[in-house]
Structure 1
Amino acid sequence: MDALRLQNVVKRFGDFTAVEDLSFSVAAGEVFGFLGGNGAGKTTSLRMVLDILRPDAGTIAVLGRAPGRGNSALLGFLPEERGLYRSMTAIDTIVYFGRLKGMAAADARAEGKVLLERFGLAAFAKTSVDKLSKGMAQKVQLATAVVNKPQLLLLDEPFSGLDPVNQGLLEDEIVRAAKGGAAVVFSTHVMQHAERLCDRLLLLARGRKLFEGTQDAARATLPVEIHLAAQRSPEGLPGVIDAQLRGSDGAWQEWTVRLQPGHDPGDLLEYCTAQGVTLRRFEQRRASLHEVFLHIVGGEAR
């Protein structure tokens, strides 16, 4: 059973369609990147999963059930707009959210102490939120999202405002949750985090899905780039779209070669070996997820 499934979901606000015919699924133990620029429909989609908003069409299944308050014990959510009760202490805040999710107070307090220790906040357990730094408060908010060890963890732009150290801590928590069997869905427009974490990803623009699949499948939509040194032009070799001469060193010429999308560089290397095309260097350049995003989403987002 999928932990989360959306089928042909539509959400409109008056004449504006925020989400259009959106379908995807996320399995237990999977880290799923929900990627798109500002206004792409990411937050609206997550709010429908949480039953904060209702879809105008389509169906949503959360752990095999319809969205609703009855799922709260199994869910964790970190909203983009962070907000805590400023007069409550760090540990009482975590306990409060644990109780909202159906946990016994003693269990929530015990798990809260474990989380504060792991996040380097054990000494601040009884400090009120308004006395904590912004980074500390964000770690407390993260603790409220995972205190119940959710089966489905939803993170909306979770890295926003975090320094590099705390970004690393959050990445560790995402990996920890997935290894524990949770399905993790996080929305972001920062591709570096998705590149490090995602098993699969979805690219969204103007409420429409433009791509869903693995990172390798996403990169396969771009031409493959090879840097090589050869004694003759690689133009005309199988799969080569074009070749640009970068320089020369005696008899050796440095080329940047673009292969057709999805073409295996190993096939080109094997052909060169078989045909006696002498190579001194053969390096594949791996396209970044940022480049993939611009290729697939860029024009549509504009």
Structure 2
Amino acid sequence: MAHAPDVLICEVGPRDGLQNLDVFVPTKAKCALIDTIAAAGMREIDAGSFVPPKVVPQFADVDAVMAHALAHKTATIGALVPNVKGAERAIAAGVDAVYFVISASETHNRANVRRSIEEQLDGFRAVRAAIDACPADRRPHLMGAIATSFGCSLEGEVSEAAVCRVAHAFVEAGADEIGLADTVGYATPKLIRQIVEAVRREVGSQMTLRLHLHDTLGAGLANAVAGLDAGIRRFDAAVSGLGGCPFAPGARGNIVTEDLVFMLERMGLSTGIDLDRLMQTREILARHIPAKHLTGHLHEAGIPKVLRRAA
């Protein structure tokens, strides 16, 4: 069995990175992207979302893409679901993990899924019940993500108490893991430490926490280091910094996976990811996505030769 990395990165480019693009990425290209990510040694891949095509046209081919992704047995293959219907589709597809999002900001939650926080919590409970109805060996991991944990473009500041209320509800409803998302990229290192520590006090040390960071204001990697200092060892990131939030116009996407991997490895923390192979994802993306959507310091500067062996 391969040695477990010090830090686990979930690659969210195939789902969060593509969902808001105004261009449809061909199914073949999505599958090639997932193949390259898996070949680089990624342990977890957010491969798509089970939503109606009229809502998110990018995932009209999610069944085909997910079937292809699940052929990669070395990685946990997950999917975002907005409700129990989506969860039922994901379970039928055989996904390894289900991701369900509730915003700490009431306004953002209504804008994002057209439901109140309480209504969305009822949806999460229904998803938990659907998973529990499966045979024990076929139950996917269930992660409850808290969007706008560090600020909201619609409401502004989000209180620590609001984040902790959702975290507590997730635990009571049976979440296997909780994700804290800087959905619009307003976090600072100080705020990362504050919210992580508050949520940990609320839910207990036995609950696994992860961070989902965006780089809207250029603080993404600094916030990742703050997360490390607060004990986080699971992070979401997207190749070439894909992504963004429709409720934060002009916002940059997720933190760049390539840059995060390089930084962590240079800090002496193993990720289990082959950076050279991961860099090859840019070629696939560049054939289908406008350059304005692709970022990354390593892609601009190249991996320094003197550091390549260490990276």
Normalization by structure 2: what TM-score?
0.37
Which entry has the higher C-alpha Rg, 1 or 2? 1
Q: When you count helix as a share of all residues, which structure comes out higher?
A: 2
Q: When you count strand as a share of all residues, which structure comes out higher?
A: 1
Normalization by structure 1: what TM-score?
0.38
